[in-house]
Structure 1
Amino acid sequence: MTVDLQWCAAYLRSCNARCWILQGRQLHQLLLKAGFFGSIFATNCLLQMYTRCGSGLSDVYLLFEEMPHRNCFSWNTLIDACINSGDSASSLQLFHRMPRKNEYSWNAIITGLVRLGDLENAWRLFEEMPMKDAIALNSVLHGLFRSGKAQVAFSVYKRLNSALDGYSSLCLDAFVLATAMSACAEYRALHLGKQIHNQIVINQVELDAVLGSALVDMYGKCDDLNNACKVLDVMTNPDEFSLSALITGFVRCGRHVEARRIFDSRFDPGTALWNSMITGYASYGHLEEALNLFERMMRKGVNPDSSTLATILNSCASLGALTNVVQMHASVLKFGILDDIIVGSALLDSYSKAGDWDNACKIFGDFKVHDTVLLNLMIKVYSNHGRIAEARQVFDQIQGKSVITWNSMIVGYNQNGFATEALELFTEMHSLDIGIDEAPWNSMLMGFASNGMGAEVIRLFEAMKNAGVPPNEVTFIAVLSACCHCGLVEEGLRWFHCMKDEFDLLVDVSAYNSLMAAFCRGGELDEAHKRFQEMRTLQRLEPNAGSYAVFIRAYCEAKDLNSAMRVIEHMKMHDQTPNVFTYNAIIKLLCEKKKADEAYQLLDEMIERGAKPDTWSYNAILALHCKIQEVNKALRLLSRMDRDSCLPDRHTYNMLLKMLIGIGRFDRVIEVWESMEKRGFFPSASSYAVMVHGLCRKKGKIEEACRYFEMMVDEGIPPYPSTCEVLRRELQRLGMGRRIEVLVDKMKRSTSCSIQELSNAMDASQIVEGHT
């Protein structure tokens, strides 16, 4: 049988995956029988086939050792195979065994070793290389810069660039120049970057897209925007990466108008250019502009990538705008990027910061892959949602926990009032000796302080000093906050002086705020005012919004509305904006004094001044409307919450439902109940309790009460024992024993063990006489 060697060679070259190994072996046998094994061409094709099909180095070595003749191609093929398998030692041994090396041999071993991180041997071989070329040099420079050895790389470049070594022509290669220029940009080496640019001009090196973009990027990152623009002007057809680099440079210098002018000059910008402008706006706090530009991008039909969506989601998270987050969620699903861990994490974070904990938890449940960053974020989300058990489950599943992971769980326990559990976890962490810095100590101190455990704070602070962990400013803020919460004025004053006298730490505005809060809590407002003046005049510290908030909260607790409003006016004069908690304190006081109009004015002012109202802001006003039974105003306020992108919570709905049932507006009750699901809110046991308790008190509404009770059981929500008792007593009073039996039977058949156990509370036959 005649065998066509050229056909066999072509077929062997097409075998480039593991699935082709069987056909490759068959061809190997065919070539052996045909007597072609003595052909170096045939054996090289076989050798290449075995390396490409990934059959393992054993087959490749076996064939290589059996080859009667070898050339540079044979050796280079085996060296490439060793490098691709990560075996740098074997590739070096083979290289040294080679009887004759060509240019490809040197480049293959040097670039391969760089890729495997063996820079020492790569550099040694580069020095031994008889005829150095740009490929090897570029690879070595890349490796040095990537491994953080920038100064070594710059020294290599400068030495080879000098005429003394005779290799200056290598440094004029476009790829080598682009690599060096990118490093100058990364390390802000403007002086060297200019020298390289001069060489490009003097030697008339062609400014292609890669090199031009690297030059623009270097000047942009080094804030030399005039030269960046000059480079762009001489480029024949600047690509998007060059324009993106210049836009980023202008944005970083705060010159957004010029950045936008460059962006708008492009007739049909691609995704990279849109991303540069959107990221520029978002990174420097111009979040509304970023969102508007994204909407324009969508209208233009330009598809966003994961970078675009992650940037916009982070902007939504900063704004806390739920409507925008929901819209972005739809975009993420539309473009199929939810599986991207960065986009998914940003979406989860956005929902959590917008207060929609349920959707944040649902997003987490949809992830197929969880990295440590995402799991740490989820501990925070569950903790903020009050679901501390789920937070602990996530914590327990993380392997190789970092200090950040431990700290996240400790903070979660503390903010939910589980100070004992936080201390147990902190003690366990301490026993593992994982290199605890001041962060977990500060978290514990802050946790004890926020839970009013002043004595524990002082004891833990002493333990921290004994453990040799130096306290910082945050540590003392925690100690001072504890003194504030517990009214330990003298103790707080002692630690305040200790902070600067004993530890030589900077006494900043936050420290003064904590001290003033301690004085206010102790009823010493005059002393707090003295400290306020001392901070401004003696220490030359400008009070911040928190400084004024200390006095506003004190006046609100004393029900002194006029004084609280005076402080608000002082804040306006000094261009300070109260935070949402400060505004809420005044709104609550206004509502307690039945000043609804003034409360609404303050709500409008919050929005105008960028202090986004939260649910409690609206609930305080709603409580007043419900108290004096102003139905229309209460419902209008609920609609306003929708317009202001504020999600109602269970307190919102429970207040409304209780009022509407109380005055017999059952039509409105149904409207409000049905609107819950549309807003993404699902009623809990407390909302069902409001319905059942309220309807039981209304004549002729017992069947409706039973219906809502059954809905709760069907949803698997365990009712409160008191709800079972109220409904059972009313049914007994009305002589509806059969209805009780139906409800008991439904509860016993529930898949929830808790509901099954509660069936006894509903079953009249199980109630001991005298306790009904």
Structure 2
Amino acid sequence: MGLFASPSFASTFISDGAFESHASTGRNLLQTKKACPVNFEFLNYTIITSQCKGPQYPPSSCCGAFKEFACPYTDVLNDLTNDCASIMFSYINLYGKYPPGLFANECREGKEGLACPALPPSELADEKNGTASSIGCSCEELENCFDIINHYYQMASSLAMSPLPMDRNLLLTTSTTTPATIISLRMCHSFQEVKQLHTQFVVSGLLGHHPLCARRLLEAYVTMSQIYYAVSIFERIPSPDVFVYNTMIRGLTMGTFPHDSLLLYKEFLLGYLKPDNYTYTFVLKACSRLKALSEGQQVHCQIIKAGIVPDTHIHSSLIHTYANSGSIDDAERILGEFSEENTLAKNAMISGYLSEGHVDKARTVFDNMAGKDAASWSALMTGYTKNGMHAEALVLFQEMMVSNIQPNEAALVSLLSACGQLGTLHQGRWIHAYIDKTGVLMSTKLTTALIDMYAKCGSIECGSELFQKMARRDIVTWGVMISAFAIYGHARKCFQLFEEMLAGGIRPNKVIFVTILSACSHAGCVEEGRLYFSQMEHDFGIKPSMEHYGCMVDLLGRAGLLAEAEELILSMPEKPNSVIWGSLLSACRTHNDLKRGTWAFENLIELEPTSGDRYKLAGLMFANAGEKEEVIKIRKMIQEKEMETTCGSSFIEVEGSVHEFTVRDTVHVKAREIHGMMKGVNNVLETANDFS
């Protein structure tokens, strides 16, 4: 069921009734302020964030960067009849996470960074081109702007941290200012802070009276990836406009609800609203994630019929949609529409090729690019990792370092994933140190990737330490940490984390329950497994999938409860897959249950008739039971058919180098030394047995 299909959903949130009938005097209290003529939401803030970094925040760098960014807009920033100043600084803080009042405190007369150049950067650029700019930038103008912003920061920061309901007069200030608490939404660093402000908005009545409040609250929840809360706000906004729809569609698309994003887009069109470039970009991304070729083609047709001139974002989203849906030819055709170098479109094509496994084509596009950016390297690196080419991803990272390109978050996440898959703890630690040294923002996603890497490389203590230090954890973080303890057999720790997650207001998803049930299976916790399997559907409305049934069959089989495992298989709403039959066959071999084992084997070879591993497992079961005739039959079947067998392999890191070992491998560079060592170990063991 989709997010927008449940009428009972929204009743559990604290904003209930916030938009129900209010006195007519309240709705227009703060609507007289002019809209800001500059769209600060989509400006490039890397001018500031790349130069003004914590924890030192050097005043000279910070103020210089701020002036370079703000000088072109001094006229509107110092106009108190609009809210440009508060909007601009809200976005600066959103992207940079700066301490309250940083710029206002540092950029003053007599302090570093205030001295203005004769001409601002924008004017200097115009002068070089032979034109003059009318924009001025004086120290006095900037200082005035600092005074305005400092007021907002001090007021918003104090109110954001207040645990008690606030005075209504503080919230509904005047008709010419935006309430500080609304501005402070963009300064919130945690989900808890947003919820606290949400509560204050409801208690004070601001949520129902100020037209900007619900919009900014919706935006905050989307930014925090708290989609359920975002939906509760969205459903109570009367007559949502294009911005509100775009925000909600973006949240659903970038979260785990791309299907709901398309449903909401349909509602958007039925409301006779006109989509803009942002709408089309977000909807196409949803189509791409769903591999929804038909829907993507329909959106493409709508863009053409509407006479929209696609920008680079729409073009790249179209390429993603077609490529991810398997229509590589259409993606290539769209890429061919560009007559000049377009990095964004080529990055999309690289990702598209890699999503279909065309690694060589992706590398060709990458190698032929004139202007590779961090996203180009990241796209190829991520594609290598997703295609199992983990060693190649690490080699590409070294090339990236030589090219003096700083990896973005996506690249670092892919690299850490590669380290985890290869078990290269040394390389993973080096990347962690690089992140700390270069001041890369430790986002939830990046920290989660570090935790996952440490867990897979055998250093669960380091992963757990990072987890405990995190200020904000999302559902993926909890899943990774629970999975880590499950892998190492710490089932009780998994159960403890699950309860902590519920107490923190995080609802478990299907993946969490797969992890929990897997932990129960490895630890032999039958009763707990039954309980979680029941809770999943009854308490959280999650219908068991094939993976959940597989975990339960494995759990019951390991415990020797083969009759219960058989009963569970027969109760499944769909036919069991090979994993489930394989788990039952393995359990029957362990517990010498030939009847059920034969039943499992017969069903298994129908699904995988050429899997030699399955025949070998059945042969071992019959051999353990002394059924020599059946063993002979199995061997004959293996000889008559062309069987596919999976060779076991493992990785080990020695002195910073990763070595792969495969069954019957004779081409390893140190194969002779390895076999000699193994022979020596066998001799020692045989000698020890002679004396025992």
2:344 corresponds to which residue? 241
Inter-partner Cα distance in structure 2 for 1:300 and 1:22: 40
| Cα gap change, 1:617 to 1:544, in 2 (>3 Å) | farther
2:620 corresponds to which residue? 517
- Which structure's relative contact order is higher, taking Cα pairs within 8 Å and 6+ residues apart? 2
Inter-partner Cα distance in structure 2 for 1:199 and 1:176: 15
Confirm whether residue 49 of structure 1 aligns to residue 177 of structure 2.
yes
SS in 1 for 2:260: coil
Confirm whether residue 117 of structure 1 aligns to residue 234 of structure 2.
yes
1:299-347 deviation line (CA, Å, top 9, x unaligned): 2221112211111111222223334333333333334458433223323
Inter-partner Cα distance in structure 2 for 1:22 and 1:325: 39
The structure where helix makes up a greater share of residues is 1
Question: Which residue of the other structure, out of 558, 562, 571, is the alignment partner of 1:458?
Answer: 562
Confirm whether residue 297 of structure 1 aligns to residue 400 of structure 2.
yes
Inter-partner Cα distance in structure 1 for 2:547 and 2:154: 61
1:307 corresponds to which residue? 410
1:11-35 deviation line (CA, Å, top 9, x unaligned): 57578489748999xxxxxxxxxxx
Structure-to-structure mapping, 1:88-127, within 5 angstroms: 116-118=233-235, 122=239
| Cα gap change, 1:53 to 1:490, in 2 (>3 Å) | closer
| Cα gap change, 1:479 to 1:470, in 2 (>3 Å) | same
Aligned partner letter, 1:485: T
Q: Which runs of 5+ in 2 are unaligned?
A: 1-74, 87-147, 156-171, 184-199, 220-229, 652-658
CA contact (8 A) 2:424 2:457 kept: yes
1:36-63 deviation line (CA, Å, top 9, x unaligned): xxxxxxxx9941315356598799999x
Structure-to-structure mapping, 1:186-335, within 5 angstroms: 187-189=292-294, 191-192=297-298, 195=301, 206=309, 208-235=311-338, 237-335=340-438
2:643 corresponds to which residue? 543
1:726 corresponds to which residue? none
2:211 corresponds to which residue? 79
2:594 corresponds to which residue? 489
Confirm whether residue 408 of structure 1 aligns to residue 515 of structure 2.
yes
Inter-partner Cα distance in structure 1 for 2:599 and 2:246: 62
| Cα gap change, 1:609 to 1:379, in 2 (>3 Å) | farther
Cα shift at 1:242? 1.4
Cα shift at 1:403? 6.3
Inter-partner Cα distance in structure 2 for 1:86 and 1:472: 42
Confirm whether residue 479 of structure 1 aligns to residue 584 of structure 2.
yes
1:341-379 deviation line (CA, Å, top 9, x unaligned): 322332333333334445444544554544443334334
Inter-partner Cα distance in structure 1 for 2:399 and 2:650: 32
| Cα gap change, 1:45 to 1:247, in 2 (>3 Å) | same
Inter-partner Cα distance in structure 2 for 1:373 and 1:396: 15
Question: Which residue of the other structure, out of 443, 446, 459, is the alignment partner of 2:554?
Answer: 446
| Cα gap change, 1:83 to 1:467, in 2 (>3 Å) | same
Q: Which runs of 5+ in 1 are unaligned?
A: 1-5, 25-43, 63-74, 88-112, 127-133, 161-166, 547-576, 582-599, 630-654, 656-772
**TM-score for the superposition, normalised by structure 2:** 0.55
1:512-554 deviation line (CA, Å, top 9, x unaligned): 45422211323445523423544786xx7x53325xxxxxxxx
Inter-partner Cα distance in structure 1 for 2:316 and 2:345: 4
Aligned partner letter, 2:385: A
Inter-partner Cα distance in structure 2 for 1:256 and 1:211: 24
Cα shift at 1:388? 5.0
CA contact (8 A) 1:322 1:354 kept: yes
SS in 2 for 1:487: coil
Inter-partner Cα distance in structure 2 for 1:207 and 1:278: 28
CA contact (8 A) 2:553 2:569 kept: no
1:372-425 deviation line (CA, Å, top 9, x unaligned): 433343344334435555445434433265665455345335435xx3xx0231
CA contact (8 A) 2:347 2:379 kept: yes
SS in 2 for 1:285: coil
Question: Which residue of the other structure, out of 348, 359, 363, is the alignment partner of 2:451?
Answer: 348
Structure-to-structure mapping, 1:357-372, within 5 angstroms: 357-372=460-475
| Cα gap change, 1:626 to 1:532, in 2 (>3 Å) | closer
1:134-190 deviation line (CA, Å, top 9, x unaligned): 989978987998673637846986998xxxxxx9xx67x756665676566563236
Inter-partner Cα distance in structure 2 for 1:516 and 1:262: 50
CA contact (8 A) 1:51 1:57 kept: no
Aligned partner letter, 1:484: R
CA contact (8 A) 1:472 1:505 kept: no
Q: Larger radius of gyration, structure 1 or 2?
A: 1
Question: Which residue of the other structure, out of 257, 260, 265, is the alignment partner of 1:148?
Answer: 260
Aligned partner letter, 2:293: R
SS in 1 for 2:405: coil
SS in 1 for 2:370: coil
CA contact (8 A) 1:379 1:394 kept: yes
| Cα gap change, 1:337 to 1:215, in 2 (>3 Å) | same
Inter-partner Cα distance in structure 2 for 1:115 and 1:238: 43
1:223-246 deviation line (CA, Å, top 9, x unaligned): 554554454455365443212111
1:451-474 deviation line (CA, Å, top 9, x unaligned): xx5xx3223225536977777244
Aligned partner letter, 1:476: W
Confirm whether residue 385 of structure 1 aligns to residue 488 of structure 2.
yes
Aligned partner letter, 2:554: M
Aligned partner letter, 2:298: L
Aligned partner letter, 1:340: S
| Cα gap change, 1:351 to 1:465, in 2 (>3 Å) | closer
SS in 2 for 1:47: coil
| Cα gap change, 1:507 to 1:472, in 2 (>3 Å) | farther
Inter-partner Cα distance in structure 2 for 1:138 and 1:402: 26
1:225-274 deviation line (CA, Å, top 9, x unaligned): 45544544553654432121111222234333332222223334211111
Cα shift at 1:508? 8.0
CA contact (8 A) 1:114 1:139 kept: no
Aligned partner letter, 1:347: L
| Cα gap change, 1:440 to 1:52, in 2 (>3 Å) | closer
Inter-partner Cα distance in structure 2 for 1:83 and 1:602: 56
Aligned partner letter, 2:645: A
| Cα gap change, 1:608 to 1:521, in 2 (>3 Å) | farther
